[in-house]
């Protein structure tokens, strides 16, 4: 038995589709590349997998460097293998997607580097590499996932109102959802609990504030969209 790493192997990039919810829209975090290839183009933040690094370690390294972010929802998306996806040579991409709340870090230390920027998903610039297709897979996955698993909360602050969650779902799915049916469905799932407080400040009725119910045993719920 001998080590086999002397044989040439493809490089392995980890690329991150970072979703954030801002101003009522689903946004994507993009990086403006300083070096070739695709210099001055927008791309997904990414890095090469180091020899003794786990995928998730690389993800954390990327987001810590670019955003000072330590905690976020992270899930493996897909692995891409086109031969020409990187002009420098054969490079696979193991892509992940992350859900973060932009508001929770912009004020903290290690804030966003000036080469990264949020873009609404419906108005993205041309992307370098094969990143447009990675984004396309990620959007499809997120839209499928949010119907069955409580991931929407990851995009909001810890305390949120039902109208906020409702608007988030409409923005992510790109459809309108009946307020009353949405409310009933979400509340019946047990995934959120009322805090008894209300969000004040608006000049109209103050909505109730809810929190994600961390104590709940994971289960699927069905949010059927007609």
Provide the binding-site residues for DNA, judged by CB under 7 A: 161-163, 178-181, 183-185, 198, 200-208, 222, 224-226
- CB-wise, 7 or 109, nearer to its own copies? 7
Residues that bind its own copies (CB under 8 A): 1-5, 7-12, 36-37, 48-49, 51-52, 54-55, 76, 78-79, 81-83, 87-92, 94
Tell me how far, at minimum, the Cβ of 150 lies from DNA, in Å: 15
Tell me the H-state helices in the chain.
Answer: 55-67, 131-145, 162-173, 179-189
- CB-wise, 59 or 209, nearer to its own copies? 59
Residue 3, burial from CB neighbour count under 10 angstroms (0-12, 13-18, 19+): exposed
Tell me how far, at minimum, the Cβ of 222 lies from DNA, in Å: 5
Tell me how far, at minimum, the Cβ of 151 lies from its own copies, in Å: 16
Tell me how far, at minimum, the Cβ of 148 lies from its own copies, in Å: 10
**Coil vs helix vs strand at 131:** helix
- CB-wise, 81 or 157, nearer to its own copies? 81
- CB-wise, 33 or 198, nearer to DNA? 198
- CB-wise, 50 or 181, nearer to its own copies? 50
**Rounded Cα–Cα distance for residues 93 and 13 (Å):** 5
Buried/exposed code over 120-137 (b: 16+ C-beta within 10 A; e: otherwise): ebeeeeebbbbbeebbee
Given a contact cutoff of 8 angstroms between Cβ atoms, the answer to whether 179 and 165 are in contact is: no
Q: 78 contacts which partner out of DNA, its own copies, none, CB within 5 to 8 A by kind? A: its own copies
> Which of 111, 117, 122, 134 is closest to 15 using CA atoms?
134
Tell me how far, at minimum, the Cβ of 17 lies from DNA, in Å: 28
Token output for 187? 């509340």
Q: 225 contacts which partner out of its own copies, DNA, none, CB within 5 to 8 A by kind? A: DNA
- CB-wise, 147 or 193, nearer to its own copies? 147
**Residues 6 or more apart whose Cβ sits within 8 Å of residue 226:** none
Q: 203 contacts which partner out of its own copies, DNA, none, CB within 5 to 8 A by kind? A: DNA
Tell me how far, at minimum, the Cβ of 89 lies from its own copies, in Å: 4
Given a contact cutoff of 8 angstroms between Cβ atoms, the answer to whether 159 and 213 are in contact is: no
**Rounded Cα–Cα distance for residues 151 and 144 (Å):** 11
């Amino acid at each position: 038995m001998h080590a086999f790493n002397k044989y040439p192997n493809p490089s392995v990039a980890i690329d991150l589709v970072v979703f954030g919810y801002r101003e009522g829209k689903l946004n994507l975090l993009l990086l403006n590349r300083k070096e070739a290839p695709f210099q001055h183009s927008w791309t997904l933040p990414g890095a090469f997998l180091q020899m003794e690094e786990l995928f998730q370690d690389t993800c954390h390294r990327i987001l810590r460097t670019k955003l000072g972010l330590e905690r976020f929802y992270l899930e493996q998306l897909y692995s891409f293998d086109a031969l020409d996806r990187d002009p420098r040579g054969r490079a696979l991409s193991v892509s992940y997607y992350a859900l973060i709340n932009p508001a929770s870090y912009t004020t903290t230390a290690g804030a966003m580097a000036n080469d990264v920027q949020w873009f609404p998903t419906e108005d993205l610039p041309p992307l370098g590499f094969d990143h447009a297709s990675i984004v396309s897979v990620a959007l499809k996955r997120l839209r499928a996932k949010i119907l069955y698993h409580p991931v929407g909360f990851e995009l909001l602050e810890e305390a949120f109102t039902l109208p906020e969650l409702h608007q988030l779902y409409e923005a992510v799915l790109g459809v309108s959802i009946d307020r009353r049916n949405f409310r009933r469905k979400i509340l019946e799932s047990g995934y959120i609990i009322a805090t008894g407080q209300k969000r004040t400040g608006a000049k109209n009725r103050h909505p109730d504030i809810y929190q994600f119910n961390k104590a709940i045993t994971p289960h699927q719920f069905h949010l059927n969209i007609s």
